[in-house]
Chains A and B, each alone.
Chain A
Amino acid sequence: MLEARQLACMRGDRLLFSEIDLHLEAGGLLHVRGPNGSGKSSLLRMLCGLILPEAGDITWQGQNIRKNEDYFRSLTYLGHQNGIKEELSAIENLRITCGLAGFDIDERTAFDALERIGLEGREALPAKVLSQGQRRRVMLARLLVAETPLWILDEPLVALDTDAIGFMRSLFELHLEKGGMMILTTHQELEIAALTTREIRFNS
């Protein structure tokens, strides 16, 4: 269970948000909404421990997330940037990001995941020859193999076509059905079925 109390965030000398409380249990979806620059990404990065909160604290299973190895083993964060290397092939990218995240996958598993996400025949190409949407798919393929309960996704659907968006939606629903948790920002209107759906709305 992920819990945050009274979070505040300063960027420079500007207060982006304050007094944010949130609470996410198994099967729960948290939708973070708001206009550009309102602090959605900062909140997500803060929940990943990349930004220290100005005030308040974040706990995972009752333990503070700072230096909490168990938390980072349970978390998959996908940010704005694709986080893939242009010089490496799709398959190398996927295996390496998984390896660094603490779980190894073999070539077969990586191959299957890339095929399922619609990169059939492009697994061995260097990522620099792939289109923007295809690069996004390489990054998202990690969700097919990761067995982490908590997903924090910052605009995961950018650059994807409608088929891929439909595929991702069913993947999200399956994850939530299995008792996973998800925190999501997106500007697309997307209905995701979940046990509990919460929303945080930022104003500019």
Chain B
Amino acid sequence: MNTLTWVLKRDMLLAMRRKSDVLTTLFFFVIMTSLFPLGVGPEPQLLKAMGPGVVWVAALLASMLSLGRLFAADHADGTLEQMLLAPESLALIVLGKTLVHWIASGLPLVLIAPFLGLQFGMNGDALWVLVASLLLGTPVLSLVGAIGASLTLGLRGGGILVSLLVLPLYIPVLIFGAGAVDASTSGLGAQGHLSILGALLVLALLATPMASAAALRISLE
């Protein structure tokens, strides 16, 4: 097996043995989106207008909240240091870790999103577009977030710092993600927005693992 397979196997095993981590992110997402209809009242037009934005902002926050787990535990027990010494490229290892992180923290959000969309009165088409936009967008959040997580590794108050670093970078994903659902409900078609999200994903896949790897080397020095 090569290094990437070992990283995937290792992190999947760890994720399976720490199911509570997956569940907390998911519940945060559910509670966060459910608070809005309770707060602003059950006005159908209002909820329909707010829905995509609320679901997307909640996904952003949930994904950011889970970033702390990406490298922190491995940093604390010294396994990250060993990964830095692996003969294969560190960027590949980071990519593997980020992928599993997305499967454990992003994919569950995508799967539950249609049910949350129903709370906001979204109909069939809009729900599909919501799922598609989250499917393309949440991996970007994990990939970009990995840079922030590696830069703030081992710092005091790293959690707040990571949100200040990463949230501004999430803005394009938020605009095109929520925009896709809006465009679909207003009959414009979501294809343009989804294409841009796809392009962002490709760009993030190519560029961010190397940036995170470089940041990790600096953080561990």
Contacts and interface: CB of A to CB of B under 8 A. Distances in A.
- Majority SS of interface residues in chain B? helix
A92 B13 contact: yes
Interface string A85-105: 111100010001101111010
B38 interface: no
Contacts of A82: 77-78
A104 B1 contact: yes
Interface in B79-114: 79, 81-88, 93
Contact of B81 (A81, A86, A87): A81
Contact of A87 (B1, B18, B76, B85): B18
B77 A100 contact: no
Contact of B82 (A73, A88, A97, A104): A97
Contacts, number: 73
B202 interface: no
B86 A101 contact: yes
B86 A50 contact: no
A81 B81 CA distance: 9
Interface in B1-55: 1, 3, 5-7, 9-10, 13-14, 17-18
Interface string A59-79: 000000000010011010101
A116 B99 CA distance: 36
Contact of A100 (B3, B14, B220, B221): B3
B77 A85 contact: yes
Contacts of B220: 50
Nearest to B86: A100
A92 B79 CA distance: 13
Interface residues on B, range: 20 to 34
Interface string A179-198: 00000000000000000000
A23 interface: no
A69 B14 CA distance: 28
A84 B81 contact: no
Given A96-B9, A100-B6, A104-B1, A83 B86 contact: no
Contact of A102 (B14, B78, B84, B88): B88
Interface residues of A, number: 28
A48 B217 CA distance: 12
Contacts of B221: 50-52
A71 to B, nearest CB: 8
A87 B20 CA distance: 13
A201 interface: no
B78 A72 contact: no
Nearest to B18: A87
A97 B84 CA distance: 12
Contacts of A99: 1, 3, 5-6
Contact of A84 (B6, B9, B79, B88): B79
Most buried by A among B13, B18, B76: B13
Contacts of B6: 96, 99-100
Interface string A106-145: 0000000000000000000000000000000000000000
A82 B93 CA distance: 20
A46 to B, nearest CB: 10
Given A82-B78, A99-B6, 5 more contacts: A49-B85, A50-B84, A77-B85, A81-B78, A97-B79
Interface of A: 48-52, 69, 72-73, 75, 77, 79-88, 92, 96-97, 99-102, 104
Interface of B: 1, 3, 5-7, 9-10, 13-14, 17-18, 76-79, 81-88, 93, 220-221
Closest 9 CB pairs between A and B? A81-B78, A99-B6, A83-B78, A72-B87, A87-B17, A102-B87, A73-B87, A96-B10, A83-B82
23 contacts: A50-B85, A72-B85, A72-B86, A79-B78, A81-B76, A81-B78, A81-B81, A82-B78, A83-B77, A83-B78, A83-B81, A83-B82, A85-B10, A85-B77, A85-B79, A96-B9, A99-B3, A100-B6, A100-B7, A100-B83, A100-B86, A102-B86, A102-B88
